[in-house]
Structure 1
C-alpha cells in the first residue's frame, strides 16, 4: 500500500505540474472565469485530455494484487486494474466548469478506461459520469457567489467522489481491491483536488491583486497627467507626462511624439532621441502613418538608426482624436523579456486614456475660443450700431424733456448691465433675456415714438433657459432691416410655446418686407458683410445653437414680401428645477 501511495503521488505531481502550466496561460484563465457555451466546450476538451492522461499514467495492479509500473499503460488485461488520478480530474472539471462539463469528462474518462482494458469494467463509465454530475451540482449549490467552493467543501466533494468510485469497485471487483487502493487513492485524489483548485484560486487572486494595484497606479497616473494633456501636445506638457509615466511604471524609457517630431523622451536612449527633433525610429513612423499599434521585440524591428541605442523592445500606440492620429505614445525596454502581456495591456489602456484626455483638452480649447469669439462679436454689434444712436437720442431729449432723457439713461443702463451679465453666460433665463429686449425696444421707441410695436405670446415658464442674446439678435434684426421706409404699423411678435416633451419653440415674426432672396441662402452659412453685421449675428447665433443643442436647434427662416419668421427649437431646461408650464 505504501509503494502504491508513493507511485500515485508521482502521478499526482505530474497532473499538478500540468495544471500549473495551464493556469499560467491567459487563454485558460479567461475560460474558467465564465460559464459561456464556448468556454465550456473548450474546458470539456482540455479536461478530457487530462482524464485520458490520468488513465494512461496510472499504476497497474495484477489480479494477484501486485503493483506494476509501466511508463504508459497502452493495453490492460481484463483481469488487471489500475490506480490513477481520473477521479481527481473529473472532480476538478466539475468544480471548475459545472456539472455538464463534469459529465462529459467523466464519460470520456470512463469510455477510455473501458476501451483500453479490452472492453471490460464498463461500470467505470457509469461511476465516472455519476461523479461528474453529483460533484458539479453540489459544487454549484455550495459555492454561492464565489467562483469556487471553499476548501472544506472541495475536500468533502473530493472525498465523496472517491467513496462513490470505491463503492462501484467493491460491487464489481470485490473488497480485496478496495482494501488495497482505498487509502492511497482516496487520500491523494482528495488532496490533489484541493491543490488543483487552490492553484486556480491563488493565481486568480494574485491576478486580481495585481490588477488592483495597477488600477490604483493608473488612476493616480491619469489624475496627474490630465492637467498637461488638457493643454494639448507641446514640448513642456509632453516632458511632464513622460516623467510621470516613467515614475509610475517599469518602462525603461517613455516617449511622446506629434505627427513629425519627438516631443519628449525620458529614460534610456535620451541622448539621441531628442525633443523637438524629427522622429527617428521606423516603428514610430509606421504607427503615425497607419494609426495602428506596433510591437517590436528586437532592435532591428524598432529601426533606430543610432548604432549604440540601448532600446531592445518597444510598444508604440497611436494617440487619436476624432479618429485622426495626432501623435504617438512610445514605451521602451532595454531587455525584450520585460515586454509581457501585462505591459502590453497597460500601454493599450494608457493610450486610450491619453487620447480621451487630449480630446477633452481640444474640446475645452475650442469651446473657449468660440465663447470668446461670440462675446466679442456681440460686443462689436452692440457698440457701433446702437451706442452712439442712444447717446444722440439722450442728448436730443435733454433739450425737449428731461424726464424722457432720464428714462432713456435708465433704459440704457439696464441694457448695458444686462449685456455685460448675459455676455458671461452661455444660457440665461427667458426673464433675463426679456428684460434685455424690453430695454432695447424702450430706447428705440424713445428715438422713434410709435414706430415699433413688440408683442409677446409666451406659454412657458419665465425660468426656462435660452442662449444669451438669441431673442435680442432676432428683434434687433427686425428693427434694423425689416421695416425700411415704413414709419408705422411695424409689428414684431415673439412667440414661445411648447413643442413636445423635449423641446419648446421660439418664433420671432415681423410684418416687414422680407429678406432678399439672393442673400437668403447665405445668411446662416457665412457672414454677410453687406448687411452691416446682421448676417454675422445670425451666422454666429446659428453656430452657437448647433454647438449647444445640435442640428435640430438650428435657425429656420421663412420669408415673403409681407414678413419674415425665425424659428428655433430649444430643449427644456429650467433654473431652480422648475417644470415647464
Structure 2
C-alpha cells in the first residue's frame, strides 16, 4: 500500500504541474468565470486531455496485486486493474465547470479506461460520469455566493468522489482490490483537488488585487493631472502630466504630443525627443494619422531616426475629443520584455481619462469664448463635489468589488462626456440625454444603494431633440431636494408622450413636495434657500423660451405626496 501511495504521489505531481501551468494562463482564468456554453466546451476539451493523461500515467495492478510501473499505459490485461488520478481530474473539472463539464469529462475518462482494459472495465464509463455529475451538483450547492467551495468542502468532496468510485470497483472488480487502493487513492484525490483549487483561488485573488491596484493608480493620476489637463494640451501642462505619470508607473519614459509636435518627453531619450520639435518616431506618426493604438516590441518597430535612442518597446495611444485625434500619449521601456498586457491596459485607461479631461478643458474654453449666458450658467451647475464624491465612491469600491468600481468609472466617463457634448449643442437626442441621466443616477445609486429608483415611460422615438441637460436637471433636482432623509422607496418617473406635433416631457417624484410659497417662483427667479438657489431651473426655463417660445415653459405641480414638472416641446429630429 505504501509503495502504491508513493507511485500515485508521483502521478499527482504530474497532474498538479500541468494544472499550475494551466492556471498561469490568463485565457483559462477568464473562461472559468464565464459558465457559458462556449466556456464549458473549452473546459471539457482541456480536462478531457488531463483525464486521458491520468489514465495513461496510472499504475497497473495485476491479478496477484503486484504493481507494474510503466511510463505510458496504452493498454492493460482485462484481468488487471489500474490505480490512477482520473477521479482527481474529474473532481477538479466538476468544481471548476459544473456538473455538465464534470459528467462529460468523466465520460471521456471512463471510455478511455474501457479502451485500455476492455469489456471488464466498461463500468468505469458509468461510474466516472456519475462522479462528475454528483460532485458538480454538490459543489454548486456548497459554494453559495462564492466562486468555489471552501478548502475543507473540496477535500470532503474529493473523499466522496472516491467513495462512489470504490463502490463500483468493489461490486465489479472485488473488494480485495478496494482494500489495496482505497486509502492511497482517496487521500491523493482529496489532497490533489484541494491543492488545485487553492492554486486557482490564489491566482484569481492576485489578479483581482492587481486590477484594484491599477484602478487606484488611475484614480490617483486622475486627481493629480486634472488641474493641468483642464488647461489644455500645451507644453507646460504636458510636462507636469508626464512627470506625474512617470512617478506613478514603471515606464522608463512618458511623452505627450499634439498632432505635429512633441509637447513633453520625460525619461529615457529626452535628449533628442525635445518639446517643441516635430514628432520623430514613425510609431507615433502612425498612431496620430490612423487614430489607433500602436504597440512596438523593438527599436525597429519604433523607428526613431536617432540611432542612439535607448527606447526598445512602446505603446502610443491617440488622444481624442469627439472622435477627432488631437495628439498622443506615449509610454516607453528600454527593455522589450517589460511591455505586457498590464501596461497596455493601464496606458489605454489613462488615455481615455486624459481625453475626457482635455475635453473638459476645451469645453470650458469654448464656453468662455462663446459668451453664451445660458450655457455658461448651465455648465456652472456641474457640481465639482459630485465628481469628487464619485471618485471617493469608486476608491471605496476598490476594496470590495473591483467590477463595480470599473462600471462606476465607465458611468463617470459617460456622465462627463455627455456633459461636454451637451455644452456644445443647443439640442441633443433623447437617447443622448437618457444616457447622461442613467450615468448620473447610476453613480448616485452606487453611493446610496437602493435609495433611488428611476423609471422611464417613453412613447416617442429616442431620436427626438430636446435641450441638453433637460432631464438631467429635473432628475438631479428630485434627487437633491425631494426626499430629505428618506433612505428607501424614493421613485423618480420620466414620462414622455406624443401630442399631435409636440410631445410632453414630465418628471415626477413621490417626495415631500415643494413649499407653496416657493412654487410660483420656480423657474422664474432665484430662490434663497439653504438647499439650493433654483438657478438651474431658471436657466432651463429661459433656454426653453428662447428655443421654442413661451408655450414650452416649465410647469410645476406639487403636494405632500410628490412633485410633477413638465413641458411641451415641438417634435424635431431625424426619423422621428
Q: Give TM-score, length-normalised by structure 2.
A: 0.67
Shift in alpha-carbon separation, 1:550–1:372, aligned structure 2, 3 A:
closer
Shift of 1:272: 0.9
Shift of 1:119: 3.6
Shift of 1:120: 3.0
- Alignment correspondent of 2:71: 71
Q: Deviations over 1:276-319 (max 9, x none)?
A: 11111110000000011111010100101111111110111111
Whether the 8 Å CA contact 2:242–2:254 is kept in 1: the answer is yes
- Alignment correspondent of 1:448: none
- Alignment correspondent of 2:35: 35
SS at match of 2:121: coil
Alpha-carbon separation, structure 1, partners of 2:544 and 2:181: 80
SS at match of 1:265: strand
Within the alignment, does 1:353 sit opposite 2:350 as a pair?
Answer: no
SS at match of 1:502: strand
Alpha-carbon separation, structure 1, partners of 2:222 and 2:7: 55
- Alignment correspondent of 1:204: 204
Shift of 1:369: 2.1
Within the alignment, does 1:23 sit opposite 2:26 as a pair?
Answer: no
Shift of 1:77: 1.4
Shift in alpha-carbon separation, 1:111–1:550, aligned structure 2, 3 A:
farther
Alpha-carbon separation, structure 1, partners of 2:541 and 2:281: 44
Shift in alpha-carbon separation, 1:3–1:572, aligned structure 2, 3 A:
farther
Whether the 8 Å CA contact 2:374–2:543 is kept in 1: the answer is no
SS at match of 2:309: coil
- Alignment correspondent of 1:14: 14
Residue segments in structure 1 that go unaligned for 5+ positions in a row? 377-425, 427-463, 466-498, 505-546, 557-565
- Alignment correspondent of 2:259: 259
- Alignment correspondent of 2:369: 369
- Alignment correspondent of 2:485: none
- Alignment correspondent of 1:325: 325
In the TM superposition, 1:332-351 aligns within 5 A as 332-351=332-351
Shift in alpha-carbon separation, 1:79–1:229, aligned structure 2, 3 A:
same
SS at match of 1:76: coil
Alpha-carbon separation, structure 2, partners of 1:200 and 1:147: 11
Within the alignment, does 1:502 sit opposite 2:505 as a pair?
Answer: yes
Shift in alpha-carbon separation, 1:286–1:2, aligned structure 2, 3 A:
same
Q: Deviations over 1:500-529 (max 9, x none)?
A: 54279xxxxxxxxxxxxxxxxxxxxxxxxx
SS at match of 2:52: helix
Shift in alpha-carbon separation, 1:579–1:129, aligned structure 2, 3 A:
closer
Whether the 8 Å CA contact 1:555–1:567 is kept in 2: the answer is no
Shift of 1:548: 7.1
SS at match of 2:330: strand
Q: Structure 1 segments of 4 or more deviating over 3 A?
A: 371-376, 547-556, 566-581
In the TM superposition, 1:227-242 aligns within 5 A as 227-242=227-242
Q: Deviations over 1:328-384 (max 9, x none)?
A: 1110111111111111111121111111212222222222222368899xxxxxxxx
- Alignment correspondent of 2:304: 304
- Alignment correspondent of 1:129: 129
In the TM superposition, 1:138-537 aligns within 5 A as 138-371=138-371, 501-502=504-505
SS at match of 1:332: strand
Whether the 8 Å CA contact 2:317–2:328 is kept in 1: the answer is yes
- Alignment correspondent of 1:62: 62
Alpha-carbon separation, structure 1, partners of 2:148 and 2:209: 18
Q: Deviations over 1:437-457 (max 9, x none)?
A: xxxxxxxxxxxxxxxxxxxxx
Root-mean-square deviation (Å): 3.0
Shift of 1:138: 0.9
Alpha-carbon separation, structure 2, partners of 1:245 and 1:568: 52
Q: Which moved more, 1:291-300 or 1:112-121?
A: 112-121
Alpha-carbon separation, structure 2, partners of 1:302 and 1:371: 45
Q: Deviations over 1:262-286 (max 9, x none)?
A: 1111111111111111111110000
Shift in alpha-carbon separation, 1:242–1:176, aligned structure 2, 3 A:
same
Residue segments in structure 2 that go unaligned for 5+ positions in a row? 377-425, 427-469, 472-501, 508-538, 567-576
How many residue pairs align between the two structures?
Answer: 413
Alpha-carbon separation, structure 1, partners of 2:541 and 2:2: 81
Q: Which moved more, 1:117-126 or 1:52-61?
A: 117-126
Alpha-carbon separation, structure 1, partners of 2:354 and 2:557: 35
Q: Deviations over 1:51-107 (max 9, x none)?
A: 111111111112221111111111221112111111011111111111111111111
Q: Deviations over 1:422-450 (max 9, x none)?
A: xxxx9xxxxxxxxxxxxxxxxxxxxxxxx
Whether the 8 Å CA contact 1:554–1:568 is kept in 2: the answer is no
Which protein has the larger Cα radius of gyration, Structure 1 or Structure 2? 1
Whether the 8 Å CA contact 2:292–2:318 is kept in 1: the answer is yes
Whether the 8 Å CA contact 1:333–1:339 is kept in 2: the answer is yes
Alpha-carbon separation, structure 2, partners of 1:206 and 1:43: 22
